[in-house]
Structure 1
Amino acid sequence: MLSLLRRSLIFILVLLGLLPLTGCHAAGMRTKATQGSQLIISTLSDPKTFNYANNQSFPSIFLFAYEGLTRENGITGKIEPALAESWTISEDKQHVVFTLRDGLKWSDGQPLTADDVVFTYRDIVFNPDIPTDAKDSLRIGPNERFPKGAYPTVEKLDDRRVEFFLPEPFAPFLRATAGPDGVMIMPKHALEESLRTKGLDGNLKFISTWNTDTDPAEIIVNGPYKLESYKAGQRLVLQRNPYYWQKDAQGHPLPYVDRIIWQFIENTDTQLIRFRSGELDMMGDARPLRPEYYSLLKREERRGKFQIYNGGPWSGVLYLTFNLNQARNKDGQPIVNPVKLRWFSNLAFRQAIAHAINRPKINTNIFRGLGIIQNSPVSVQSPYFLKPEQGLKVYDYDPAKAKELLLGAGFQYNAQQQLVDADGNRVRFTLVTNSGNKVREAIGAQIKEDLSKIGILVDFTPLNFNVLIEKTSNSRDWDAHIIGFTGGIDPHGAANLWLSTGASHSFNLSQQPGQPPIQGWQPYGFEQEIDRLMIAGARELDETKRQQIYADYQRVVQENLPVIFLVNDRALMAARNTVQGIQYSGLPSWGLWNIPEIRVEN
């Protein structure tokens, strides 16, 4: 009897061990009723908006549903035609004429013309009352002017041609017109009216148009996919846009895949279970795989009938930052607790924190040695990336140095070896990051432990991603946070993070359009220097000089530490063998940057 029981137990355990690879969950999704091919992928949280101008999160529907005049090739980093088939640049570099493809249409069948391009740039992006991140990558010159002069910012020449007038040469201009990180073209016929009227809050109705409570069928797009249905907390279903412009070499219309099911799974462990079960076709397409997942899945490639893609270092950055905002809210209350602000705004304090964080341990224990310790705001793939041996300051793990810096800045230790400031206040702050991202949760837990070794108490609290973005981008109600930011070839692509007026400049967020007023905001001296260098780099066309400008920019960032860089991901993605046409690298911010060319073979 005991032998029989043991054999039964072993049999059950074997079944449980095989369960993740049997595809039981997939059966519920891949029904015979589904017509055509479909791709099932996932992300951690629901979209925050269906309105491109309001988007501040990644990934988003705009990766699937919209395009710009140009696009960035995810393998080469070069700018290629998209909605515009060609462009010409004047000899003085201040006039750029784009020619749209012939016969472009919106997903409702209406023509997409130069009127839509002018509307997008002039009425949305260059509109000071619209809080879109896209405007930050197009601020030109020392006064952060948008393209302007004694003529329109952008002018329609005919139905297929538009001309941009730049007040001065602007090196990043073409890249700023490229999706998915640049300006996406929006439909004038659907949105123009919302820009003519204001709501009860005093803001243009456009700002509250196409929120996630909008019927997906009302969302008009120009990209390869349009919205079919949305169930909050569950999934977004997209279907191929029959009016999408792109065709393959044989003249077949793209995209190849008929439907995309984008599941919202707030826990990466659950995503892993569903991928192994066969319910998901891909994992790591939006954010790289966790290193321990890579080790597990690599052993299962053949049996699980999937492939692991290694794209090298990921092009973004992961960092910790403190709230340095000196302003007051509309009621006159300090945005940051004045006691904490004195700590956070003290350079020696930030340097001590940087030395106290054991980044090699993060890489070894959390990234399994696959990560890249980051010291720069510029992506490692960029030709402007500055290495430590070229004069970039680094903060190696050194708790003794951290304590020395703190004592030199007037902090001290009490009888319990707790760090207190000169007034006897215990040094304690809250650290937040997005919940469900197990890598960031693990990093936050280690930082809490690391800082306890120098007497600092950290209250680590993971939050829902949309709640986190609300705090960092609107209410400003936070002490410190860990977050990632997408990267790329040109440093100016991160202008909305690094310009002091940028919408993603969370560590000292200025007044933004549509937000309650704040009082007494001002940039720090190092922020003004970063502004100067970012503007100089954008206006300089000589590559050698641009290299020097962006080298100086990286030095200023590291010497002043508005953010503390942590460890970068390696670009790792898993995809079933049935998914074909993948072109994966660590350069683009999204593994499916060529989504129209992806196939799913049954």
Structure 2
Amino acid sequence: MKLMRAVRVLASLGLAGAFAMGSVGAAAQTAAPAGAPKIGSSLIGKLQGPEIIRDAKAFPKTFKEAPTLAALVKDGKLPAVDKRLPEPSQLFVVKPLDQIGKYGGNWRRAFTGPADHENGNRIVSADKILTFDYTGTRIMPSLARDWKVSDDGKTTTIYLRKGAKWSDGKPLTADDFIFWYEDIYLNKNIVPTPFFEFQIDGKPGTMRKIDDYTVAFEFAEPYAFFVYQLAGSTAIGAGLATRGAFQNWGGAYAPAHYLKQFLPKYSSEEAANKKAKDLGFDNWVSLLRNRYSWALNPELPVMTPWKTVSPINTPTWAMERNPYFWGVDTAGNQLPYIDRITMSLAENAEVANLRAIAGEYDIQERHMHLSKLPVFLENQKKGNYTVKLDPGLNGADVALHVGMAYDADPEIGKLLRNKDFRHALALGIDRDQLNEAFWLGVGTAGSVAPAPDSVYSPGAEWNKKWGVLDLRQSNELLDKVGLTKKDPEGYRLRPDGKGRVRLEMVTVGGQFVPYTQVGEMIKQQWKKIGIDVDIKELERNLAFTRDNNNENQIITWANDGSEVLFLFPRHALPVDAAEAHMGIAFARWYASKGQSGKKPDDPEMLRAFDLFRSAFGMKEEDRVKAGKELWKIIVEQTWSIGTVGQSPAFMGVRIVKNNMGNVPDRQTNAQHVRTPYSSQPITFYFK
């Protein structure tokens, strides 16, 4: 079996006892995030990361640049480096993990197609307004050099870096924030549903320019947590690159000098639509959506360390250094060190893994499968790379998200909204079998609840609630629901007389864990409770489009990020209209405070919505209590069914070439820190 093979390989490499399965505790010898898994492996090193320097007295006074840029300066094609950087006291300064790096090189990676925009988004996430340190626990400056929360918690003010410039050399100012707020965010043709992060108790926030380099976010009620929204992986805070690629218009700022040309406000509806049609788009909104995406549009001015030069919808997604990037190392070298990132299209994750095994990638964590760990280890020397593991804290690397608003088949929709039916499905899964087959036994089987030591954990007992195989109780619950009749093959029949109960489970191919294969094993397991299921593998964009059209009965996806519930709730509760596997109509209703979408019939979901909404105005102690109570509701209601989690399976298997420098032995693996951005890839270099 795979597990036995893994043990043999680990033993042969002197790593016997590499994993203490299911053991969770505080990370040792480091300032790791609270609740970091303690798996006890030489493959899981000490949590490390670079330091963001905040004391301007320690900032460098002289500056250097990459040789490629120096040549352009010499030829008169680019201003001198000190003219491209912010004012000396306004710099973003990073102390590299190990040493000052060297300039140059092409970072080779894999990507799986146009839907894989997060592959690049995470690497270039320096354009976030604020960020977290490498431990994922402390807010740090990023695009904004500083911030202040008012005593009453109603206003969060950010201070921009004077002299910071877009990638085309134009200055970044508060006007770019006001342009985004007034011309994009408040335009219902562009953003029909307000971001839940940009409101408190259903009351929308506003944005105000104080001066050219100061912006205030203002709310009617106390919202001290908003500063975390600006630092997290949220629609309002994750940066233009990420939210433009997600096509939900987020980021809180945009290049006004470039994007105004596509808006009717600055010409006319007729002229804007004509421009769109001339360029092959249906209307001006479609054109703007394309031009707003850093991954699709090489012409878009960006604040990222690298900018796209060959778009994501080509076989090679390529990025080159931004000559106006606003960060330096402690020696005054303009970052990033690496010249270029080249992502080569892999037809699927299997191909990407095989190429990684052959040593074709310099650093690759995305799409690397934990099931390949024995083969990765066997080929380390031949491929001249090292394997590093970064466990996560989320409860489910594969969650079965139930379409609670699904109504295309009314009888199936009724069953999905029946808690007893969902509990029966959850109890019919043999998670230990899944864990051994696809996680090599190193994951933790159970519900969707986060690791017991994570801040919002309701307690270890909730990791097992509705998360342990119990065929007897599962069958009893299905009988209770009214599914007592069976066909000759033992499958339960629909109450409306239209044949057997046949569910449809949508899986997404080419991802970090083999969703389809996991789904197929669950299909076999559910035979024992008389439930049939069709497994439908789709490309990510299509699967998520079906979500947005309320067409999915069940979709398999991770619940990563949900361990920091209030920063990334979309995989735990349907409250984010950008992505809500459990019911996009409910998320639209929540985000619009009833102005659009559909109100849930489930009183427990409404209770969860109310508690979630009120938590943002709470003090930290009360918010933590609210988070724990929310997780109890989420687990008990089983809107998502957990399988196996708390493992390195989701972006936690890193293949690192031995000639790469400033790469941590272990990095925080969490959505809110935009892994691997928390390790500051701008400081990676080729030795």
TM-score, scaled relative to structure 1: 0.82
Q: Which amino acid aligns with 1:445?
A: E
Matching residue of 1:523: 600
Who is 1:308 aligned against? Answer: 387
**Deviation per CA, 1:112-136, whole angstroms, max 9, x where unpaired?**
0111123334543455443499923
Q: Secondary structure at the match of 1:413?
A: coil
TM-aligned CA deviation for residue 208 of structure 1: 3.1
Match of 2:104 among 36, 42, 47: 36
Tell me the equivalent position of 1:161.
214
2: CA distance, partners of 1:102 / 1:520: 42
> Per-residue deviation at 1:478?
2.3
Equivalent position of 1:64 in the other structure: 124
Matches within 5 A, 1:231-242: 232=313, 234-242=315-323
Cross-structure match for 1:54: none
Paired residues of 2:181 and 2:207 also in contact (CA < 8 A): yes
Three-state SS of the structure 1 residue aligned to 2:390 is: strand
**Residue 402 of structure 1: CA displacement?**
0.7
Q: Which residue of 2 aligns with 1:342?
A: 414
- Show CA shifts across 1:210-259 (max 9, x none): 27799733121101011111363512100000101010011100011100
Residue 319 of structure 1, CA deviation: 1.0
Q: Which amino acid aligns with 2:510?
A: G
Residue number in structure 1 paired with 2:94: none
- Structure 2 residue aligned with 1:509, among 577, 584, 593? 584
Is this contact kept in 2: 1:115–1:188, CA < 8 A?
Answer: yes
Distance 1:564 1:112 in 2: 45
User: What is the CA–CA distance in structure 2 between the aligned matches of 1:374 and 1:595, rounded to whole Å?
Assistant: 33
User: Structure 1 residues 170 and 243 mapped into 2: Cα distance closer, same or farther (>3 Å)?
Assistant: same
Q: Which residue is 2:228 aligned to? A: 175
* C-alpha distance in structure 1 between counterparts of 2:338 and 2:194, whole Å: 29
1:467 aligns with 2:467: no
Q: Find the counterpart in structure 1 of residue 474 from structure 2.
A: 402
| Structure 1 residue 590, shift from structure 2 partner | 2.2
CA 1:374–1:226 in structure 2 vs 1: closer, same or farther (change >3 Å)? farther
- Cα deviation for residue 599 of structure 1 reads 2.6
| Alignment counterpart, residue 372 of structure 2, candidates 289, 293, 313 | 293
Partner Cα distance (1:211, 1:547) in 2? 36
Measure the CA separation in 2 of the matches of 1:258 and 1:407.
63
Question: 1:421-570 counterparts in 2 under 5 A?
Answer: 421-424=494-497, 425-437=499-511, 439-473=514-548, 475-487=549-561, 490-497=564-571, 498-500=573-575, 502-510=577-585, 521-524=598-601, 525-541=603-619, 543-568=620-645, 569-570=647-648
State the SS of the aligned residue for 1:162: strand
Q: Which amino acid aligns with 1:87?
A: W
Letter in 1 for 2:165: K
Distance 2:680 2:224 in 1: 28
Q: Indicate which of 71, 82, 90 corresponds to 2:150.
A: 90
Q: 1:522 to 1:279 in 2, by over 3 A?
A: same
**Kept after mapping to 1: 8 A contact 2:125/2:238:** no
List per-residue Cα deviations over 1:492-522 (Å, max 9, x = no partner): 1224452446332232212869xxxx99832
From 581, 587, 599, give the equivalent of 2:684. Answer: 599
1:290-339, Cα deviation, whole Å (9 max, x unpaired): 2222222123333432111122235474310222226xxxxxxxx42112
Q: Which residue matches 1:7?
A: none
Matched, 1:585 2:659: no
Q: How many residues align?
A: 537
User: Aligned ranges for residues 71-220 of structure 1 at < 5 Å?
Assistant: 71-125=131-185, 127-131=187-191, 135-141=195-201, 144-147=202-205, 153-178=206-231, 180-181=233-234, 182-184=237-239, 185-196=253-264, 204=285, 207-210=288-291, 216-220=297-301
Counterpart contact for 1:237–1:262, Cα < 8 Å: yes
Alignment of 1:207-286 (within 5 A): 207-210=288-291, 216-230=297-311, 232=313, 234-284=315-365, 286=366
Deviation at 1:66, TM superposition (A): 6.1
CA contact (8 A) 2:359 2:384 kept: no
Label 1:452 to 1:391 Cα distance change in 2 as closer, same or farther (>3 A): closer
- TM-score, normalised by the number of residues in structure 2: 0.72
Q: 1:581 to 1:315 in 2, by over 3 A?
A: farther
* Equivalent position SS for 1:539: coil
Q: 2:31 — aligned with what?
A: none
Question: 1:395: how far off?
Answer: 3.0
Question: Which residue identity lines up with residue 381 of structure 2 in the other structure?
Answer: R
Secondary structure at the aligned position of 1:254 is classed as: coil
Q: Give 1:413's aligned amino acid.
A: K
CA displacement at 1:444 relative to structure 2: 0.8
Q: Deviations over 1:433-463 (max 9, x none)?
A: 1112352122111111111221111111211
Name stretches of at least 5 consecutive residues in structure 1 with no aligned partner.
1-34, 49-56, 148-152, 327-334
What is the deviation of 1:109?
0.5
Q: Secondary structure at the match of 1:156?
A: strand
What SS does the aligned partner of 1:403 have? helix
The 8 Å contact of residues 393 and 555 in structure 1, kept in 2 or not, is answered as no
- Measure how far apart 1:145 and its partner are: 2.0
Q: Which amino acid in structure 2 is aligned with residue 190 of structure 1? A: Y
The aligned residue for residue 322 of structure 1 is 402
Instruction: Check the 8 A contact 1:352/1:401 in 2, yes or no.
Output: yes
| Shift of residue 377, structure 1, vs aligned partner | 5.0
Query: Matched residues in 2 for 1:238 and 1:467: separation?
Result: 26
CA deviation profile, 1:18-56 (whole Å, cap 9, x unmatched): xxxxxxxxxxxxxxxxx93110111223247xxxxxxxx
CA RMSD after TM alignment: 3.0
Counterpart Cα distance in 2 of 1:454 and 1:180: 39
Aligned equivalents of 2:344, 2:559: Cα separation in 1: 22
Contact 1:386 1:554 in 2 (8 A): yes
1:391–1:456 CA distance, 2 compared to 1 (3 A): closer
Q: Distance in 1 between matches of 2:556 and 2:426?
A: 13
Q: Deviations over 1:135-189 (max 9, x none)?
A: 2322311xx2221xxxxx1111111111121222224311211265434232122
Between the aligned residues of both structures, percent identity stands at: 23
| One-letter identity of the residue aligned with 1:422 | P
AA aligned opposite 2:172: L
Change (3 A) 1:203 1:471: farther
Whole-Å Cα distance in 1 between the matches of residues 218 and 349 of structure 2? Answer: 46
Q: Secondary structure at the match of 1:164?
A: strand
Given that 2:393 and 2:450 are in contact with CA atoms closer than 8 Å, whether structure 1 keeps it comes out as no
CA distance 1:574–1:381, shift in 2 (3 Å)? farther
